[in-house]
Structure formats: C-alpha cells, structure tokens
Amino acid sequence: MADTMKRLKAILAEVTDIQRAGAVLDWDQETYMPPGGIQNRADQASTLSEVAHRRFTSDEVGLLLEEAETEVANEPFDSDDASIVRVARRDYELDRKLPPELVAEIAHAGSAARPHWQRARKEAKFEIFAPYLQRAVELNQRMAEALGYDKRPYDALLNRTEPGLTTDQLEAMFEELRTAIVPLVAGIARHADAVDDSVLHRGFDTDKQVQYALDTVVKLGYDLERGRQDISTHPFSIAFGPGDVRITTRVNRDFFNECLFGSIHEAGHGMYFQGIGRNIDRTPLWDGASPGVHESQSRLWENLVGRSLPFWNHFFPSLRETFPEPLRGVDAEGFYRAVNKSYPSFIRVEADEVTYNLHVLLRFELENDMLEGKLKVNDVPEAWNELFKSYFGLDVPNDREGALQDIHWSFIGFAEFPGYTLGNIIGAQFMEKIRAEMPDLDSQIGRGEFGPLLRWLQENVYQHGRKFTPNELVERVTGQPISPKPWIAYVRKKFGALYDLEPVKA
Ligand code: ZN
C-alpha cells in the first residue's frame, strides 16, 4: 500500500527533528552556554538521543522498511524513495546490531577515561592512560564482533562511518601515499629556508581577522541568510536543516592562519550542508555522504582554493588594506608562499598539507595492530616513536607530543582518523575533474568568481546528501574509483615549485 512510504517518512522526519534539536543544544554548549549548564545539558542530550534511538530502532520501523522495500523495488537506484529506504535500512541494521548494554558501556568508559587521559597527557606519562586504552581496545573489539565483518575487525568499524570502504582498500591507498610523501617531506626539509612565514606572526588585530574571515567565506558562497559565524575553542560546523547551517572559528593574534583558514574550512562543510537538496530534507539522506566526503569539501575550499596563488592574487589587496602594518613590504606571492610553509611537526592538528596524511597513516597502522592483537597497549609509545622516526625523521621527545596527543582514543573512538586523509584524496580527485571541465578555473578564482565552482559542486556532489556511498559517489562524479594519485600529483607540483625540488618521475 502507498501509505507505507508516507508512514515511514513521517517517523524518519520525527527522528531527524529530535536529532536536530539535540544539535542546537550542542551548538549552544560550545558557544554561549555558561559553565554551570554542563550537567543539565548532558542530561538533555542523552534524553534526546535515547528518544531518537528508540523511535528509529523500533519494530514498527523494521516492518515499514520491509514493506517499503517491496514498494520501491522497481524504482531507479538514485530515486529519492529508493535511496531513503536503502540508507534507512543500512542505518537500522547497524543500530540494531549494537546491544544497548555495549553502547552504554562505551559511553561510560569514554567519560571515565577522559580525565585520566588529560592527566597522562599533562604529565606525559603513558602508564596513567594505558589501562584505559586497554579497555578501549577491548570495547572496540567487542563492537567489531557485534557489527560483524568478513576479513578484519577494522572493516566493521569503518563500515559505520565510511560505508563500503574496506581496510584493505585503505591500506593499499595509504601505502601509495606513504611512498610518495616520505621522500617529499625529506626534500622539503633539505630546502626548509626556501619559504619564510614570519609575516604570519606579526600580530593581526583579532576583531578585524574575524570580520575578514566572515567577508571571505561569504564571497566564496556561504549563505548568511541561512548561516552565521561564532567563536569556539575548536572550530566546527553544524546543521539544523537546509535553512540553518552554522560555523564557528577561533582567532589568534600571533598566528594568522588559524582564523581565516579555520573559517574557510568550516564554510566548506557549511556550503556542503547548504547545498543538500530540500527534496530529501527531514530524511536520513540529509547529511554529508560520510565524514571523509565531508572533509573533502572543507579541504577543497581551504587548501585547493584558499591556499592557491590565484586566490591570493585576488584577496591580497583587500587583506593589505585591512592590515597595512603587519603586511608592509609583503606581496601576494610572498603571502601565498608563507601560508603554504611545510615542515614536519609532532602534532597532527598543527600539520601542513604535505605532512598531515603521515600522521593519519601512523594512527591507522597502530589501531589495526591493537585491534588484531599484534600490538600490546604497553608497547604503543615505542611503536609510535619508531614509526614517527621512519616517517618524519624526528625523535619524539615525550608521550605528550607522541602517543597521548589525540582525544579520540579516550572517547573509545577507533577508525575515525582515516576520514581526514580520505578527504584530502577525494577533494583532489574532484578538483582534477573540475579542472578538466572548467579549464579557466584559475582565472575565475583570480577574479574572485566562485559561483561556477560552487554550482558544479552543488550539482555533482552536495545535492545528493547521503544517497551514495563514498565509493559510489566518487565513481559517479569522476568515473574512477577512489585513488590517491591526483592528490600526490597536486602536492608534488605545488610543493616542488615552492621548495625548488627536482621533479619526480611518476
Ligand atoms: Zn573538517
């Protein structure tokens, strides 16, 4: 009966509304909530997520899905209804497979581990965190068993975030990346003096930085009629629906990159959200295809557009007008070079375009080894430092700047890092396709015209939301499987020129 789709969609809309109401509370917590609000807010958040979870995983939804599957069986794969049913089924199965006790245990273990991780990091003593990491490994192993996998436990965890991707597929791509990046990093290190970024530290008025960043993202196409920018400790983007997509940024007087590139990054996520079709609003399709695909858009706007020479040819004159003092004696090309300085550093979140992926590769390898029982938790710092030395050529001075730096493991979150590297890869792949179809892209950017680029992305990527898996989307957009080759070609060319390196024979 044709009623089935209607009833299913009504429940899915309800679930979406509850989740979005929870998102408004999250946004408030990170921006304006007074510190005393934390306990009430935690209760509200857990109540809302429990209500949404119960509603979605009910037997009623299971029955409706079964009937709906018959109903849409003859519809095209990419039709709205067929896609809603297919994606809702995938989410439903995953949510039903995780026993509520395990979900509760993970949430509890996460909040219990956090203060110990903080203390361990502060004192740079891995032993303090080791028992909690051990617990995280066990919980992730149990989660992988509950979700099920054919080959490797990591597959089960990956399938939740990047559906369709396998550990083997990632491993092959990451190996290709490693082989290309390690010698590039060494080459850059030998020519380190070729790029001077001292201008970025000359002191930039913070109010003016925040305003300049907002003006810039509006020029790129972030719609303020349906968005706003606020300040938070860690920048993020968040969507409550097509009519309200917000971003945050942070600002540092003594380091220019944080505010402007933070804003462009989040606006990249924001424009993705703003471009998802209203026809799939209030359904499970209304979101980015995956964290990796989402990151492809933040990275595309931040790095492939925002850190390009044509971009600075256009924006530098207005930047110099805004900050005449710190920019005295600097030109567009000098500024372009400064914002692209590359150097190996210990901390992932501070890494530049070239070295960033190596940080991800290292974590991917260690997480797999821990899950598969090949690496004991007590041996993690040693394994970390050894890998770090072989990738970056540096000796890690202590665990704070090594194995203890990321918050993810304290939250029991494994298999979350690969999304960052997938984003870099997929962004470069889309850009290669865009350049083939829009050969004058650089002149457009140089003239400050971003409309055609944004429309291309809306039409080919954004409007579909979660209709396609990452593999399906990339194949559909570029005609190729996901591949690191375009990203490798891009960094070799760009950084080869910046650092005056010998061209690499492909
Ligand atoms: Zn991001």
Ligand 1 centre distance from Cα of residue 18 (Å):
24
What local confidence, expressed as pLDDT, does residue 49 receive?
87
C-beta pairs of 387-394 under 8 Å, 24+ apart in sequence: 387/362, 388/346, 388/362, 390/182, 391/178, 391/182, 391/185, 391/358, 391/361, 391/362, 392/185, 392/344, 392/355, 392/358, 393/185, 393/186, 393/189, 393/344, 394/344, 394/346
What local confidence, expressed as pLDDT, does residue 39 receive?
82
What local confidence, expressed as pLDDT, does residue 322 receive?
98
- Top pLDDT among 90 and 344 is at 90
Task: Please determine, for residue 506, whether its predicted confidence score (pLDDT) is greater than 60.
Answer: no
- Top pLDDT among 83 and 505 is at 83
Ligand 1 centre distance from Cα of residue 258 (Å):
13
Q: How confident is the model at residue 360 (pLDDT cuts 50, 70, 90)?
A: very high
Ligand 1 centre distance from Cα of residue 294 (Å):
7
H/E stretch holding 505 reads none
What local confidence, expressed as pLDDT, does residue 352 receive?
93
What local confidence, expressed as pLDDT, does residue 101 receive?
86
Q: How far is CA 22 from CA 10, 41, 230, 308, in A?
A: 19, 10, 18, 37
Ligand 1 centre distance from Cα of residue 269 (Å):
7
Q: How far is CA 209 from CA 39, 47, 121, 213, 338, in A?
A: 34, 39, 31, 6, 17
Task: Please determine, for residue 234, whether its predicted confidence score (pLDDT) is greater than 90.
Answer: no
123 is catalytic: no
Write the pLDDT tens digit of every residue in 405-457.
998 998 888 999 999 999 999 999 999 999 999 999 999 999 999 999 999 99
- Top pLDDT among 41 and 372 is at 372
What local confidence, expressed as pLDDT, does residue 504 receive?
72
Average of pLDDT values for 372-381? 98
Task: Please determine, for residue 398, whether its predicted confidence score (pLDDT) is greater than 70.
Answer: yes
Ligand 1 centre distance from Cα of residue 265 (Å):
6
- Counting Cβ atoms within 10 Å, is residue 190 exposed (0-12), middle (13-18) or buried (19+)? exposed
> What residue ranges do the domains of the chain occupy?
2-129
Write the pLDDT tens digit of every residue in 271-297.
999 999 999 999 999 999 999 999 999
Write the pLDDT tens digit of every residue in 3-49.
999 999 999 999 999 999 999 999 998 899 998 998 888 889 888 98
Task: Please determine, for residue 1, whether its predicted confidence score (pLDDT) is greater than 70.
Answer: no
What local confidence, expressed as pLDDT, does residue 481 receive?
97
Average of pLDDT values for 363-390? 97
What local confidence, expressed as pLDDT, does residue 19 receive?
95
Write the pLDDT tens digit of every residue in 138-180.
999 999 999 999 999 999 999 999 999 999 999 999 999 999 9
Ligand 1 centre distance from Cα of residue 2 (Å):
40
What local confidence, expressed as pLDDT, does residue 505 receive?
62
Residues sharing a CB contact under 8 Å with residue 130, sequence separation 6 or more, in sequence order: 377, 378, 380
What local confidence, expressed as pLDDT, does residue 108 receive?
81
Average pLDDT, the chain: 95
Ligand 1 centre distance from Cα of residue 419 (Å):
9
Ligand 1 centre distance from Cα of residue 291 (Å):
8
Ligand 1 centre distance from Cα of residue 298 (Å):
6
Average of pLDDT values for 203-210? 98
Average of pLDDT values for 59-70? 98
What local confidence, expressed as pLDDT, does residue 154 receive?
97
H/E stretch holding 246 reads strand 245-249
What local confidence, expressed as pLDDT, does residue 376 receive?
98
- Top pLDDT among 244 and 43 is at 244
Ligand 1 centre distance from Cα of residue 423 (Å):
9
What local confidence, expressed as pLDDT, does residue 109 receive?
87
Q: Please pick, among 266, 353, 367, 432, the residue that the annotation labels catalytic.
A: 266
Average of pLDDT values for 72-94? 97
**Rounded to two decimals, what is the model's pTM?**
0.95
